[in-house]
Amino acid sequence: MAITDILSAKDIESALSSCQAADSFNYKSFFSTVGLSSKSPDQIKKVFGILDQDKSGFIEEEELQLFLKNFSSSARVLTVAETKAFLAAGDTDGDGKIGVEGRIWGNLAKL
């Protein structure tokens, strides 16, 4: 399954263009612009599955750094500061990874 099976290419392009500069990524704005906040819980879990590159059931720091590249291979990698802030926002138990039921993914529809 491709991410464009769930999200529109136009919304992805718009979301990526809003965070081209280093340290400009904001996950709430990105999720809203890309259209994730309007998707069903099942669709959100499918996107999570695409982003979970190693299929561990979690998104770890290394996967977060490459987060934008999942939406377009030409996108930039997140900076260390962006990656750490994103991880801190979603890591509910301090284990260094984000689960699909965590703060970010579990509450995505409410953003």
Q: Which residue has the tokens 């906040």?
A: 37
Annotated binding site: 52, 54, 56, 58, 63, 91, 93, 95, 97
Annotated binding site for Ca(2+): 52, 54, 56, 58, 63, 91, 93, 95, 97
Contact present, 109 and 44 (Cβ < 8 Å): yes
φ, ψ (nearest 5 deg) of residue 101: -95, 5
Q: Kindly report, residue by residue over 37-70, the tens digit of the pLDDT.
A: 888 888 988 999 999 999 999 999 999 999 999 9
List the one residue out of 99, 109, 35, 14 whose CA is nearest residue 63.
99
Q: Kindly report, residue by residue over 65-102, the tens digit of the pLDDT.
A: 999 999 999 999 999 999 999 998 888 788 899 888 76
Indicate the helix (H) or strand (E) that contains 12. helix 9-17
- The domain segmentation of the chain, as residue ranges, is 8-109
Q: Kindly report, residue by residue over 6-47, the tens digit of the pLDDT.
A: 999 999 999 999 999 999 999 999 999 999 888 888 898 899
What CATH homologous superfamily does 8-109 map to? Answer: EF-hand (1.10.238.10)
pTM of the model: 0.88
